[in-house]
Structure 1
């Protein structure tokens, strides 16, 4: 999301977007933990093979996408502070 689009959001939309990002972070962390657990279980049960490392590739994708959310969250925080909104 571009900075000018963030500035165009209303106060309510801005706070809602911040809550959505926090929920996305929680869901992402849960999925990453679950997938790492699957990789560990697969490694212990079946040894090291493709299905041990494939879930770790998914973890990489989730971590990569979370970096975009971090930037968006910082921009939203800056806009919230500029508007003096209480979250």
Structure 2
């Protein structure tokens, strides 16, 4: 969702969306932890190679998607300041 789409949501819809994003952030953090663990295990067991960097690529993609929570928080803060 874009910033403009957040401004079209009601306060209740925005809070429900924020709750869903927070729940998905917990799952994302767990997956990132597992992928980093796999990368470390691979580096220790087989040395640095493809299987070390492959999980780290997915960590980057998952971390980049975390910016959605920041946009939602900005919209909620802007509505509370009005």
TM category, shorter: 0.7 to 0.9
CA distance in 1: counterparts of 2:41 and 2:79, whole angstroms: 43
Instruction: Please list every run of 5 or more consecutive structure 1 residues that lacks an aligned counterpart in the other structure.
Output: none
Q: Deviations over 1:48-79 (max 9, x none)?
A: 11011111111111112212x14322233225
- The TM-score with structure 2 as length reference comes to 0.78
For 1:66, the equivalent position in structure 2 comes to 66
Shift in CA distance, 30/77, structure 1 to aligned 2, threshold 3 Å: same
CA distance in 2: counterparts of 1:19 and 1:79, whole angstroms: 18
- The TM-score with structure 1 as length reference comes to 0.75
Instruction: Please list every run of 5 or more consecutive structure 2 residues that lacks an aligned counterpart in the other structure.
Output: none
How many residues are treated as equivalent by the alignment? 82
CA RMSD of aligned residues (A): 2.1
